[in-house]
Structure 1
Amino acid sequence: MGVKRDFNVKVINTEVVAAMLPMQEHWLPQSNLDLLLPPVDVGVFFCYQNPIISGKPKFWSFESMVSVLKVSLAETLVSYYAFAGELVQNLAGEPEILCNNAGVDFTEAWADVKLKEINFYNPDESIEGKLVPKKKNGVLAVQVTQLKCGGVVLACTFDHRVADAYSANMFLVSWAEIAQSKPLSQLPCYRRSFLFPRRPTYYDPSIDSMYLPISALKQETTNIDHDDQIISRIYYVKSEEINRLQSLVNCNSNTKFTKLKTFSAFLWKTIASGTMEITKSANSKNFKLGIVVNGRSRLLRDGDEEQARVLKGYFGNVVSIPFGDKKVEELKEKSLSWVASEVHEFLERAESKEHFLGLIDWVENHRPEPALARIYATNEEGHAVVVSSGQQFPVRKIEFGWGEAVFGSYHFPWAGKSGYVMPMLSPKGNGDWIVYMHMLKSQVDLVEATASNVFKPLTADYLNLE
């Protein structure tokens, strides 16, 4: 059976789920690294087959699933109380979290489509506005949708200014653990003192090339043709292809490149090469590629086990986005190993304790003016793509009692014109990758035309959906 391109989703019920224990209202300040995030929402969704197919007892009706989700969510919000609050501006005009237990909008819905009929390859058609909720209030919104086959899609949308992907992953794992009456494997930590600026502040001038105040943005905007809007696609990449590319870049290099660096280099070169083939005017243009770096492990003091334990559970944003900026012509003509070396070089600048301490100090020197990563300043000349590693995305751990998720993905159709790519491990556990892409249509077309042997459209057949 093929995909069903047009299906209806009917909202059955919407209510607010708050933390099950009362809490004293208080303010939770944003760290300097939180203040670098623009006001964008990030979605994530998980797909479950009919529990009977998974060999689970018949008592798992949709109503019983919803009940477990709501009760366990209420308990999870006791520890993750920031997700039950609201983001409010303080007197300086900066956002702060009002931890008032206002709760989370929880929507129950029904869709007239079977799980195997959902067009996962094109989430703009099947996921956006249907299965992932639009957050209207607070910091987090949840939607659980029953499908015609008895399967279920669980989706969340959260405010990126409050949590990065690492923090969202912690919350999701904790929610699933509580649903199954398991002890929490990781408690969240809100100790902003770990990210306090130094006195006196100091940062390397290279940070000025990575971040900029909003007031420094150019006023003119880049016009994008109607036919070249940003679109979303989801692919799978076989483990053999990932290993082949990694072997290719490592065979003639003294540096041993990771799979993520290899993948990022391949994507950078592929798009640049295709762009140059289509239009010679692109030869002199620059093409930026950034990679999101998690700073938790970089901020550790040697031998400080207590700090390591706390930072491992730190809830908030602890990320930096270093990037490379190269001519399209150069990326095409140079070898893949050379491109991987460039990726390695710009990443090295951010993979240190001093970089993150300097970034914290840089924000302090520019407050209260908002700032953002320069690669997101899309009104600058040239195109840009950001790769965010989702290798820790815990699809197989998000189990509430009725079977493991057969698929899960982030969904980030933000309004900016910089591309966003999230490679994740396949739920099949075989070393394959799932790759979510949100890029210019022309770039997606180039990837499909020139690298179809690597990027395969995600299908129900690949996921073995029944």
Structure 2
Amino acid sequence: METQVPLTIFDRFASNLHIAVLFAFAAPTPSNDALLDGLSKVITHFPTLIGRLGYSSSHRRPCVILGGDGGGALVVEATVSSELSDYLPLEPSPELQLLHPSPFDAVHLLQVQLNRFKCGGLVIGATAHHRVADGQSMSTFFVSWSQIVRGTTVDRLPVYDRSWLNPRRPPRCEFEHWGLDFVPIPTHRRGFTINPVDVDPSEITNMLVRYSTDYIRKLKAEVNNKYTTFETLLGHLWRKITIARGLQDCDLTMVRVSVNGRTRLKPPVPNEFFGNLVLNAYPKANVKLLITGGLAAAASIVHEAILEIDQRYFQSFMDFGELYGEEELVPAYDVDGIVLSPILEADSWVRLRFQEVDFGGGGGLRGFLPTWVPFEGLVMLLPGLGEEGGIDAFVTLIAEHAKLLRQISHSLD
């Protein structure tokens, strides 16, 4: 028997693709049998991950179909003839794509690959469709899976209650969601001309820029500790990437910043809510003013833009979904092509639970990284797993721009 779970407006705002991540664990690690047994148990708490995307004629919108034919998760077991230590610390590389099933044209919403190294080390590569779960949700899944394998109680089961996401009666949009959030996009989008750049994906590189706790402390001192670590570090990276891209003084640049709505809705939604509950803030600036204004000005622009995505904005977005949910909705960023410049997309996984993933065995988590991404203009902040802690910035740029960013990434001017 099939059950249809309509996608929320937040699910439909998420990218229509799989997100792939890698966890590296030093030996000793649990056996594959133990991992798969734990996966079969935990997945009963996360049924939408083993459904399939479809369309609900009764609700007249896209949905996840549970039960019936299809569905399930794809699991691959692989062996690697080299030592895990040869790849630690994990660095972005096209070879990482061999450690997880292909996210392109995937049939299953959840894919897992268990990679056993010669030394007994383990890399778990997994992909999940973004329309089913955001980063907060997937961190809940991975932590729950690891707890079951360790034989401990799952401390935070997923929550599926959607009562927080109800539109008003009557619904009303207080903000303009066409254009920045969803297409159709006018030729000029609030001053931004979208001209997709035709480049070979091989010209795009991924890099990891490591910022120590001490360096972040220096950055925050530059802004008199007025802004959060995320706002400060993103302001710093925005300026340095803009310089590295060689943008003109008169150009406009913008960052799409992911904003988690769980704490912004009233009453707040539990972090364990499973699905998507993220919107974007849109800090923007003239290139010359961004560069000459210094870090404090950049962090302030980011801060003010994030403040605007509040309870009222989220409620307006839910009302938008009620008014236009029966239409074919395409997120604006799905039509940008593979080069985003002069735009950036920025997200932080620092406060999520990925670093808590521990399957037991004693080896421990030694690396956590997104896979190689063939898109320019992404910034993801990851928790530093080394003894010094700090934050690792995963950045995707044209190769020549990445080379320059490496040279200036830690400059304080």
Aligned to 1:183: 153
The residue type equivalent to 1:441 in the other structure is: A
Change in 2 beyond 3 A, CA 1:47/1:193? same
Match of 1:363 in 2: 321
Change (3 A) 1:260 1:33: same
Q: Does 1:133 align with 2:91?
A: no
Equivalent residues in 2 for 1:32-431 (5 A)? 32-51=9-28, 65-91=31-57, 94-100=61-67, 102-118=71-87, 122-128=91-97, 130-135=98-103, 136-208=106-178, 210-214=180-184, 221-226=195-200, 229-250=203-224, 256-276=226-246, 282-301=248-267, 308=268, 311-350=270-309, 352-374=310-332, 377-378=335-336, 382-403=341-362, 404-411=364-371, 413=373, 417=376, 419-428=377-386, 430-431=388-389
- What does the per-residue CA deviation read over 1:378-402, in whole Å, with 9 as the maximum and x for residues that have no partner? 3699521111111124344211121
Question: Partner of 1:213: helix, strand, or coil?
Answer: coil
Residues 49-72 of structure 1: CA distance to partner in whole angstroms, max 9, x if unpaired? 121xxxxxxxx6xxx611011111
Q: 1:106 to 1:422 in 2, by over 3 A?
A: same
CA contact (8 A) 1:48 1:405 kept: yes
Please, what TM-score do these two structures have when normalized by structure 2?
0.88
Deviation at 1:42, TM superposition (A): 0.3
What letter is aligned with 1:408? F
SS state of the match for residue 99, structure 2?
coil
Q: What amino acid does structure 2 have at the position aligned with 1:367?
A: G
Distance between the aligned counterparts of 2:50 and 2:120, measured in 1? 30
Match of 1:298, SS state, is coil
Look up the equivalent residue of 2:365 and give its one-letter code: A
- CA shift, 1:373, in A, is 4.9
Unaligned runs of 5+ residues in structure 2 are none
1:155-196, Cα deviation, whole Å (9 max, x unpaired) = 110000000000000000110111112111111122233212
TM-fit CA distance, 1:453? 6.1
Matched letter for residue 270 of structure 1: K
- Please give the TM-score of this superposition, normalised by the length of structure 1: 0.79
Q: C-alpha distance in 2, partners of 1:141/1:187?
A: 21
Give the whole-Å Cα distance in 2 for the aligned partners of 1:361 and 1:270. Answer: 38
Q: Distance in 2 between matches of 1:372 and 1:250?
A: 41
> Is the 1:217–1:377 Cα contact (8 Å) retained in structure 2?
no
Contact 1:230 1:440 (8 Å CA) reproduced: yes
Q: Among the aligned pairs, what percent are the same residue? A: 23
Cα deviation, residue 405, structure 1? 0.9
Shift of 1:338: 1.0
Residue 132 to residue 366, structure 1, CA distance change in 2 (3 Å) = same
How far did residue 105 of structure 1 move? Answer: 0.7
Conserved? CA contact 1:189–1:313, under 8 Å? yes
Return the letter of the residue paired with 1:286.
L
Shift of 1:132: 2.1
Partners of 1:286 and 1:120 in 2: how far apart?
Answer: 36
Partner of 1:432: 390
1:162 and 1:317 in contact (8 A); partners too: yes
1:413-451 C-alpha deviation (Å, 9 max, x unpaired) = 2x655x221112122364311222223334422311212
C-alpha change, 1:119 and 1:329, in structure 2 (3 Å) is: farther
Structure 2 counterpart of 1:400, which letter?
A: F
Report the Cα offset of residue 259 of structure 1.
Answer: 0.5
Per-residue CA shift, 1:210-263, capped at 9, x if unaligned? 313247578985224448843222232111111110110126xxxx10100001
User: Distance in 2 between the 1:273 and 1:98 partners?
Assistant: 46
- CA displacement, residues 107-160 of structure 1 (integer Å, 9 cap, x when unaligned): 0001222212227665233312x1122242221000010112221101110000
- Give the partner amino acid of 1:132: H
The AA in structure 1 aligned to 2:409 is A
**Match for 1:322: what amino acid?**
A
Asked whether the 8 Å contact 1:322–1:346 carries over to 2, the reply is: yes
Equivalent residue of 1:313, what SS?
Answer: coil
Q: Secondary structure at the match of 2:300?
A: helix
Amino acid at match of 2:270: L
- CA distance in 2: counterparts of 1:112 and 1:297, whole angstroms: 45
CA distance in 2, matches of 1:108, 1:78: 21
3-state SS of paired residue (1:292):
strand
Query: For 2:113 and 2:382, how far apart are their aligned partners in 1?
Result: 22
| Alpha-carbon distance in 1 for matches of 2:60, 2:375 | 23
Change (3 A) 1:381 1:315: closer
Equivalent position amino acid for 1:50 in 2: A
